[in-house]
Amino acid sequence: MKKISQYILVSLLGLLLFNSCQQNEYELGDLVVPTNVNVTYHIIGVDELNPYGDGSGMVDFEVTANNAITYNFNFDDGTDVKTAAGGKISKVFSINGVQTYNVQVFAVGTGGTISSVVTPVEVFSNFRDDEALEFLTGGSSKKWYWASDLPGHAGMGPTSDDYGNADFTWPNWWSISPWDSDKACMYSAEFVFTKTDNGLTYEQTTGPGWIPGTWAGDIGVTGDQCIGEDIAPALYGVKNVSFSPSSSNASIVGEYRGTTMTIGEGGFMCWWVGTSEYDIIEVTENILRVRIMEDETQSWYHIFTSVKPVQSK
């Protein structure tokens, strides 16, 4: 409900801005509310023996509407709202068992006008990565830190394979040096993964978050700085974590682990770019390497360690 309320608030602000522009005699076109919103979906692997899918949890959605310019999806599983301008999107639902998700789709028209529909989707997921769970938790509870003593503990590269070869599977645009002084404030962050009777939880227990300038510009705040809960309300608190099969092309081409880790309730590991989904590149007893797709253009790469780095004087 919180994400839906935030989205409606943004839409109302858009309407207020439109009215303000009208008073200044700017012309943005007529306000046209989308109509005839229609949602169809296909659960992967459905047959007579598997009425809720093959266990991958993957569902393909397609939405059409009159007078819509884009679509937003709230998947009712604690993950972030997703946008698909063309109305087509694939989603992996990762909560184990047969679950019903009330997927809410917002058709967005000119001036921020919206129409929405709710579609219940019943999906089966049985994906597990017990080895990753054991590495992350040590069998019970385990602390992780930025691998700040390693080159490339943060980096950025393209999301798309339009650049040729495997350039979109590693941070070939930018890679950080050890103990980067501009980001020293974030190195105090500590992250805890805990094994529970129901699976896995995550919590950032200390330290701030970090917001890069690219994402900060999208939401209208100052970037490249450490931030608190006033900017990122989901920074702290215990979050449920789920695993699902990775659906990214980078995971296949880059020969990643093949597992996506999703932190529920909008959670993230310090570096906030509006997503809670992490493609696990590698996880061992002491190293966690992940890829985070910010959008269709750029992705981030992070390295964490379970051995707290100490900066030499």
pLDDT value at residue 96: 83
Give the residue-averaged pLDDT of 14-37. Answer: 60
Residue 28's CB: how many other CB atoms inside 10 A?
11
Q: Does domain 2-125 have CATH number 3.40.50.720?
A: no
pLDDT value at residue 162: 63
pLDDT band of residue 37 (cuts 50, 70, 90) is very high
pLDDT band of residue 31 (cuts 50, 70, 90) is confident
pLDDT value at residue 3: 46
- Helix, strand or coil for residue 264? coil
Residue 281 has pLDDT above 60, yes or no: yes
pLDDT band of residue 198 (cuts 50, 70, 90) is confident
Which pTM does this prediction carry? 0.76
pLDDT value at residue 111: 87
Q: Could you give phi then psi for residue 215, rounded to 5 degrees? A: -70, -40
Residue 13 has pLDDT above 70, yes or no: no
Give the residue-averaged pLDDT of 167-194. Answer: 96
Residue 8 has pLDDT above 60, yes or no: no
Residue 16 has pLDDT above 60, yes or no: no
pLDDT value at residue 10: 42
pLDDT value at residue 63: 98
Average pLDDT in the chain: 89
pLDDT value at residue 164: 56
Residue 1 has pLDDT above 70, yes or no: no
Residue 93 · residue 22 · CB < 8 Å: no
Residue 223 has pLDDT above 70, yes or no: yes
What is the share, in percent, of the chain residues with pLDDT greater than 90?
75
Kindly report, residue by residue over 202-217, the tens digit of the pLDDT: 999 999 999 999 899 9
pLDDT value at residue 25: 40
pLDDT band of residue 167 (cuts 50, 70, 90) is confident
Nearest to 261 by CA among 248, 245, 273, 243: 243
Place of tokens 């081409």: 253
Give the residue-averaged pLDDT of 93-118. Answer: 93
Residue type, 115: S
pLDDT value at residue 163: 55
Range in 6-15, 67-76, 132-141, 184-193 the model is least confident about: 6-15
Kindly report, residue by residue over 117-166, the tens digit of the pLDDT: 999 999 999 989 999 999 999 999 999 999 999 999 999 999 987 655 66
Sort 49 into a burial class: Cβ within 10 Å, 0-12 / 13-18 / 19+.
Answer: exposed
pLDDT value at residue 94: 83
What is the share, in percent, of the chain residues with pLDDT greater than 70?
89
Range in 98-102, 209-213, 249-253 the model is least confident about: 249-253
Q: Where along the chain do the CATH 2.60.40.10 domains lie?
A: 2-125
Which residues make Cβ contacts (< 8 Å) with residue 186, sequence separation at least 6? 146, 207, 208, 209, 210, 226, 270, 271
Handedness of CA 247, 249, 252, 258 (dihedral sign): negative
